[in-house]
Each structure stands twice: as C-alpha cells, then as structure tokens.
A and B are shown apart, each in its own frame.
Chain A
C-alpha cells in the first residue's frame, strides 16, 4: 500500500481561513461556526450535494483540479475496488488506508465495520484543507 505523506500543520493553518470561508458560504453559515475540527455532516449539517458544492468552490478558489464527487475514490489510492469495499463496507485494508488518509480524525471515530456510504461522516474541515494541499502538490 502506498504511503500517504503527512501534511505539516502550518500549511493546513495557512489555508484554513480561506477554506473555512468557502465552506461557510456553501453551507450558508457564519465563518466562525466552521472550525478546523468540525465534522461537515454532524456539526455543520452538510448533505452530499454540499460536498459537490464545496469541492467546486475550492477548485475555483485555489485553481486546483479536485476530484469532483470522488473524495472517497481519491482516499482509496492504489487499492482496487475489491480491496477497498466488500458488500458496501470497508475492508480492513481500506479502513487502515482511510485512517492514514484521514489522520486528523480521532481513531475512535473509525468503528468497524464502516459502511462506504458513511465515510463522508468522517470528513472534517481539515480534510478539505488537506485535499487542496495534496492536489496542489500533485499539480505543482
């Protein structure tokens, strides 16, 4: 399994205000409500359509080509579909991979088995900061 490079906190902190404002605009909330550790679905009541909206706004604002509607696919990395998912739930290898990809999320949030449909519940504001930084680095 390919290794996922860690992203320095100072890089995340540098883009967080802009990302937070974009998320606040997309969810029609005040920027102060959008903390780095806020879960988009549980804390900010985002729905799946909001993820598409946020990705599109980030894509435009940071001029990076983000995987529209495919965050999970991006998190999957080099794992095949069969290695990643079995009957709608993450395989143990996928869960390990996802925990490494979402290293900002506390371990206790990863309760096995995780349904693929529930993966977006793990996404925080920091997840989107890292998504931008990863794609920016890949496209540099």
Chain B
C-alpha cells in the first residue's frame, strides 16, 4: 500500500466502483490514535462519495459539504479497526451530488448517512486535478495509507455562556495553520465541516449531561444528527461562536439545536440527538 501522506484523507482504498452511482471502500483508523470520534466516521463516507463524483466528472469539479439530512450513529470505531465504506449516489451532476452512505465494522453498521447533498465547485480552485486523478488511481489500485493529523484540542470549545439545562454557548479558534489544511484543501484551506460538527457535539453533550440523570452521563453518545446545513467556508484563524439549545428531553434521549456563527454570519445549523447507543 502506498503512502498518500494526506493529513485529512480518510479513504485508504476503493474496492469497487460504478462511475457516478455506487462505490465501496475501506479506511483503517490509525492504531496510534487514542480514540476516533463518531463524527469523523462520516468523513471517509463523504470522501468516498467525493471520489465517485470527481471521477464521474473527470476531475473538473469537486463536491463540498452542504447538507446532510440524517446521520445515524450506532457505535464507536476503535483505533486499529478497518471501516468498510459504501455509498450510493442518487444524483451526480456538475452542479450537485446527492447520496447515502454506510460505514460498517465487522459487518455491523456503525453509521448510516441519508440524503446528503454536496455542491460541486471547480476542482482547480481547491486541488490540483492531475494530482487528484493520480491519487484516485492509487486508491482504486494498491490503495494508500494516509497520515490523519487532527489535533483534538482544535475542536474543544471554550464555554462562553451557560443557561443551566437550556443553553450552552462556546467558541473555537481555528488555528492559522494545521497539517490538515494542506490536504483540505491544497489550494484553498477550509476548516472541515466534520470538525466543526465535532466541536458542536462536544458542547451539546455537555448540555445533555446537565439534563439527564447523572447515572447516565458516562453513556451519553450522539445517536443521530439531523438537518446539517453548512452555509459558508471557515478559514484558518477564524473564531467560531457555537450555540447549543435544548429542544426536548424524553427518557434517555435529548435533542439539541446546534448553530455556528463566524464574523457575524451564520456558518451552519443542525440538530443532534444525544442518548445511548443500542447494545451491540
């Protein structure tokens, strides 16, 4: 397996591809990581969809995250585990893609994404089309082992405002430089939407912990993320204000609204359900 060197490249291998329609692939969570956030499991699924779309349009454009109607999360993925990825394209044009996808470990579906939509933007604004084509060929052939570099501190929000059991606000400072910016994207650094979501979910989990019975706190996990809408790119050095607000609490499940703002503009919105995973 080649070394692709990508600090934010989450597909090691594409094992099956039907251009513009369907693909399967694999990603192994590096053993050296202490943990792998459930949010980040969405990244290899989305990246596999991106490869299918980019190859379908001959690397003239690339998708960027826009909408994800529903992401169901059912289990953690331990470092060292191989995640089997699958995506099914529902629409794939030069303007937009729509797809659904799955991540499985040892045959168990750890994540399912439904109704994901991405905008297609000119590839040359983000990546070198030739380099992307070459990487795609490697992924479809021997595969590539990538060097994921995500500092967990990046996504640990500072709490700025608290209204007990109702609302919790925080902020993250996007670093001016980070290894993943060289990969996301080489010609235009953009803070990955999955990392923003990770920060938002960490804050939401803290709010959920205020609401549920204390005995349940150790078992709280994100179980479903709905209506993710990413409105604008976040750049290196930006400060992002994150707001979480309790929508409902039923039994062991808490639903929380997520919103992010930067420089006075709405960046993203979503809703997350925090509860307990079904037993494996």
Contact = CB atoms under 8 A, between A and B. Distances in A.
Interface of A: 28, 47, 49-50, 52-53, 56, 60, 67-70, 73
Given A56-B98, A68-B98, A49 B91 contact: no
B230 interface: yes
Contact of A49 (B66, B95, B115): B66
Contacts, number: 42
Given A68-B98, A73-B95, A49 B119 contact: yes
A30 B263 CA distance: 27
Nearest to B95: A69
Contacts of B66: 49, 52-53
Contacts of B98: 56, 68
- What secondary structure prevails in chain B residues at the interface with A? strand
A68 B231 contact: no
B120 interface: yes
| A-B complex: 4 closest residue pairs judged by Cβ atoms | A69-B95, A69-B96, A68-B96, A70-B95
Contact of B229 (A49, A68, A73): A49
Interface string B237-255: 0000000000000000000
Interface of B: 66-67, 69, 91, 93, 95-98, 115, 117, 119-120, 229-231, 269
Contacts of A69: 93, 95-96, 119-120
A67 B229 CA distance: 19
A40 B120 CA distance: 22
Nearest to B265: A47
B120 A49 contact: no
A49 B96 contact: no
A60 B117 contact: no
A68 B269 contact: no
A34 B101 CA distance: 33
Given A49-B119, A68-B96, 6 more contacts: A49-B66, A49-B231, A52-B96, A69-B93, A69-B95, A69-B119
28 contacts: A47-B231, A49-B66, A49-B67, A49-B119, A49-B229, A49-B230, A50-B229, A52-B66, A52-B67, A52-B96, A52-B117, A53-B66, A53-B67, A53-B229, A56-B69, A56-B98, A56-B115, A56-B117, A60-B115, A68-B91, A68-B93, A68-B97, A68-B98, A69-B93, A69-B96, A69-B119, A69-B120, A70-B96
B234 to A, nearest CB: 14
Contacts of A68: 91, 93, 95-98, 117
A68 B269 CA distance: 21
Given A68-B98, A69-B96, A52 B119 contact: yes
A28 B91 CA distance: 25
A50 B230 CA distance: 10
A73 B66 CA distance: 20
Contacts of B231: 47, 49
Contacts of A50: 229
